[in-house]
Structure 1
Amino acid sequence: MEEAAVRLALTNGRTQPDVAGDLGVGLSTLGRWISRSRDRQAVASGGQAEADMAAGLKRLRRENEILRQEAAP
């Protein structure tokens, strides 16, 4: 129910108090669910950014090693 409530609160254009009332949950509960959902999304997107950064670093290290070998006498 939590995910559906968050989706409803964020996408239907109605106020959070209206959505909370329709669902029979407290406004603070709905707010907490929305906050948790945003935190999960931030962690998920942050994890992808770290993976991209690690892949880029690996590529640069490989290129650096190749350049060192080409420059060696």
Structure 2
Amino acid sequence: MGSTRRAFTEEYKASAVEFVINDGRSVADVARSIGVHEMTLGKWVKKARDAQDGEPVRPLNEDERAELERLRSENRRLKMEAEFAKKVAAWFAKDQQ
């Protein structure tokens, strides 16, 4: 029996790397949350950082920083709402039986 290898799109890899680089989360934390091996995500992050070495890193201006904070806040709220909806759905499903 051969092992199957999962394939990830470039967009998926970029968004995972963004969690580590821009949001300041650890590779282990992000890898656990998205279901990818830590070494795999580490390689993606290293590749992205190596690619950025040639480009100057521009810090966020005030407007971008404010938008980032607003989006992070909205993201937290939406995650809480989604978690609540899952619990309610599970409760209703259990109640139906």
Amino acid in the other structure paired with 1:6: V
| Alignment length (residue pairs) | 45
Bigger CA radius of gyration: 1
Give the aligned CA root-mean-square deviation in angstroms. 1.5
Residue aligning to 1:33 = 44
Identity %: 36
- Alignment pair present for 1:20 and 2:31: yes
- Alignment pair present for 1:6 and 2:17: yes
Which has the higher relative contact order, 1 or 2, with Cα contacts under 8 A spaced 6 or more apart? 1
Distance between the aligned counterparts of 1:23 and 1:39, measured in 2? 23
* Structure with the higher fraction of residues in helix conformation: 1
TM-score by length of 2: 0.41
TM-score by length of 1: 0.53
Displacement of 1:40 in angstroms is 1.3
Structure 1, gaps ≥5 residues long: 46-73
Distance between the aligned counterparts of 1:19 and 1:36, measured in 2? 16
